[in-house]
């Protein structure tokens, strides 16, 4: 029996035989050609075929993992149609008189290397996307079909790394879990694994010697156990059965109130990134939506979404939630969420740069369009507005002033609007320290623990090298959360958590005792958190 420790993507247990998946490096030879026109036609035909494949992958991902996670294949399609990328390939064919396979492969390598050498974490991550699309076109040119990574029986898949396209193409009924040597917890593949609820580990040494061996993925301890003895195997089989039993028991909590043993009612909401995610919110019986990440309406477009497009999205969610609270976070573009048509300048430190509310207050036309759409949708449900990345009272006052102007414009046009609560995200130490002042300006706070941890500890949360010291349980972070709760309650302002800590079951009781009023989590986390709430005592704040 052998045991390897890595990093867990999803807690849970998987037991089964390992299938080692090797991409198999495509051998691309340089071949001199005389008819460059014919070679250009081969490239164009292969590119069109690759775009068709990406469209099919998008539709498959849309059905299986939702609109937000499927968006990566739209991104790949846009990258494949990039003028610079295509011009470089055509130039190589014409000027060097080489075959299309070689031109695509070398251009892909050059562009991938260029992205790898950038300082920005977001652009570094795009290197893998470039490799994925260039390998796809080369495969088409080679006449290769889609590779089936799985056999007839369910397996634990082991690979050096997995591209999002490879993950989505797999038959999920045959996939017990997966283990990779490379990748990060913030990669697209990791996000897909969490969405598909598949136990997964990264950072585990992987090679062909694993093929056919019995293995256990322990997502709680982030361990891979190879060739377990009978006692260990029995222990994990019992754990697996207990997981299934707990899932069944949680279903009994649907329709139950989120009230502690001493009578405190907690707002248990869910986070979403698209209209399609609303079904998961309802299926998991959340009280409302505590974070609607509206930026995905922008990330999925090739141009600014219109007021009408945004209105229809917000209206649909509000109507589907049938009077339950829907809190829409205004545009949070920038940092690791880049949109080409915004034409944002390259920044040395984008996480602390031109992003979120800073863009909205600087480009008021974009902000006003979104606020008009939100206010129009508020006539169809219970909507709240949340402003991200706030660091000053002046910013909040400016947001409120613009919203009041937009409300007046709509009233003058005879367009009905509802009452909306206004709140701010507490994501920076600055917001924490003036939370007593901010509380006097708004109806609620929502603590974004991901960014608050990043800024408090001065650790880039996208940097995999710093994963070992990124500590969201750091006493400084927890003290800040307590300070925000105390300051908000003094001013009659309710406060919640919408970052990943909200779903951290090891802290749920601590948050209840601090006096947190609301927890907004992934839809799948609603029922496990409800169980803890109903078995806990909030006590004195």
Active site residues: 188, 498
One-character DSSP codes across 241-283? HHHHHHHHHHHTTTT---B-TTS-B-EEEEEESSGGGHHHHHH
> 507 with 529: CB under 8 angstroms?
no
> 49 with 140: CB under 8 angstroms?
yes
Q: Could you say which DSSP state residue 26 is in?
A: P
**Bridge partners (DSSP) listed for residue 445:** 424, 495
Residue 311 CB contacts under 8 Å (≥ 6 apart), including other chains: 372, 373, 376, 377
Residue 56 CB contacts under 8 Å (≥ 6 apart), including other chains: none
CA 502 to chain centre: 15
Q: Could you say which DSSP state residue 69 is in?
A: H
In angstroms, rounded to a whole number, what is the distance separating the alpha carbons of residues 117 and 455? 25
CA 362, 366, 369: angle at the middle one, nearest 5? Answer: 135
Structure tokens at 23: 């991409």
One-character DSSP codes across 437-486? HHTTT-SEEEE-HHHHHHHHHT--TT-GGGGGG--TT-HHHHHHHHHHHH
**184 φψ region: left (φ > 0), alpha (ψ -120 to 50), beta (else):** beta
**Bridge partners (DSSP) listed for residue 385:** 328, 422
> 229 with 1: CB under 8 angstroms?
yes
User: Please, is 302 exposed, middle or buried when counting C-beta atoms within 10 Å of its C-beta (0-12, 13-18, 19+)?
Assistant: exposed
> 475 with 526: CB under 8 angstroms?
no
Coil, strand or helix at 311: helix
> 293 with 499: CB under 8 angstroms?
no
In angstroms, rounded to a whole number, what is the distance separating the alpha carbons of residues 203 and 223? 10
């Amino acid at each position: 029996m052998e045991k390897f420790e890595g990093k867990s993507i999803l807690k849970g247990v998987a037991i089964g035989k390992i299938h080692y998946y090797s991409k198999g490096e495509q051998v691309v030879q340089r071949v001199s050609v005389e008819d460059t026109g014919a070679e250009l036609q081969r490239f164009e035909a292969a590119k069109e075929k690759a775009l068709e494949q990406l469209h099919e992958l998008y539709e498959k991902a849309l059905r299986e993992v939702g609109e937000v996670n499927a968006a990566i294949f739209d991104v790949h399609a846009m990258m494949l149609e990039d003028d610079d990328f295509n011009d470089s390939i055509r130039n190589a064919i014409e000027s060097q008189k080489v075959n299309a396979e070689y031109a695509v492969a070398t251009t892909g390598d050059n562009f991938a290397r260029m992205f790898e050498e950038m300082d920005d974490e977001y652009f570094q991550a795009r290197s893998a996307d470039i490799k994925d699309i260039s390998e796809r076109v080369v495969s088409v040119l080679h006449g290769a079909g889609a590779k089936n990574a799985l056999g007839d029986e369910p397996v634990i898949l082991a690979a050096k790394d997995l591209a999002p396209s490879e993950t989505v193409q797999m038959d999920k009924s045959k996939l017990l879990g997966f283990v990779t040597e490379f990748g990060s917890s913030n990669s697209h593949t990791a996000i897909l694994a969490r969405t598909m609820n598949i136990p997964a580990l990264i950072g585990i040494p992987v090679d062909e010697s694993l093929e056919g061996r019995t293995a256990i993925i322990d997502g709680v301890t982030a361990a891979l156990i190879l060739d377990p003895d009978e006692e260990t195997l029995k222990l994990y089989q019992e754990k697996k059965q207990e997981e299934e039993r707990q899932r069944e028991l949680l279903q009994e909590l649907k329709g139950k109130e989120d009230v502690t043993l001493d009578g405190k009612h907690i707002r248990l909401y869910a986070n979403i990134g698209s209209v399609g995610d609303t079904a998961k919110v309802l299926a998991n019986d959340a009280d409302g939506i505590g974070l609607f990440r509206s930026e995905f309406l922008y990330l999925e477009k090739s141009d600014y979404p219109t007021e009408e497009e945004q209105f229809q999205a917000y209206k649909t969610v509000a109507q589907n939630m049938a009077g339950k609270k829907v809190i829409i976070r205004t545009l949070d573009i920038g940092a690791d969420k880049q949109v080409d048509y915004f034409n944002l300048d390259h920044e040395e430190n984008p996480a602390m740069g031109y992003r979120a509310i800073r863009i909205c207050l600087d480009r008021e036309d974009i902000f006003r369009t979104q606020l008009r759409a939100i206010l129009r949708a508020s006539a169809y449900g219970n909507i709240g507005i949340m402003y991200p990345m706030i660091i000053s009272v002046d910013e909040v006052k400016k947001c409120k002033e613009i919203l009041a102007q937009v409300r007046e414009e709509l009233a003058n046009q005879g367009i009905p609007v509802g009452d909306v609560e206004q709140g701010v995200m507490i994501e920076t130490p600055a917001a924490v320290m003036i939370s007593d002042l901010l509380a006097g300006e708004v109806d609620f706070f929502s603590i974004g623990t991901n960014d608050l941890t990043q800024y408090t500890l001065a650790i880039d949360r996208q940097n995999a090298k710093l994963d070992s010291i990124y500590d969201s349980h750091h006493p400084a972070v927890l003290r800040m959360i307590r300070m925000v709760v105390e300051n908000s309650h003094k001013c009659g302002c309710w406060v919640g958590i919408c970052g990943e800590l909200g779903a951290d079951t090891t802290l749920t009781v601590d948050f209840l005792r601090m006096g947190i009023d609301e927890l907004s989590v992934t839809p799948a986390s609603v029922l496990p958190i409800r169980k803890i709430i109903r078995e806990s005592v909030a006590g004195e704040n």
